[in-house]
Amino acid sequence: MEHEFLETRHEYSPRRVFSTTSTDWQARVDFDRLRKDRVARAREQMAIHDIDALILF
């Protein structure tokens, strides 16, 4: 197994970063889009079931 990439700086090697967290130099998970989609789905279901408010924690 090759491990040479471990010696390179992670900013320049996408193989070096092994996580799902966001970075400023590489597009990964679009957290804003996920948040907006979840809110839209929740509001849609609230309208279908005639729910005015939710208490979530």
Please write the tens of the pLDDT for every residue from 46-57: 999 999 999 988
Instruction: Please give the Cα distance from 38 to 3 (Å, whole number).
Output: 39
Q: Is the pLDDT of residue 5 over 80?
A: no
Q: Which of 1, 2, 24 is nearest to 10 (CA)?
A: 24
pLDDT surpassing 90 at residue 38: yes
Between 15 and 52, the higher pLDDT residue: 52
Residue 54 backbone class (left: φ over 0; alpha: ψ -120 to 50; beta: rest): beta
Domain ranges, ordered by start, for the chain: 4-48
Could you please report the per-residue DSSP string of 1-57? ---GGGGS-GGG-GGG---SS--SSS----HHHHHHHHHHHHHHHHHHTT-------
pTM: 0.54
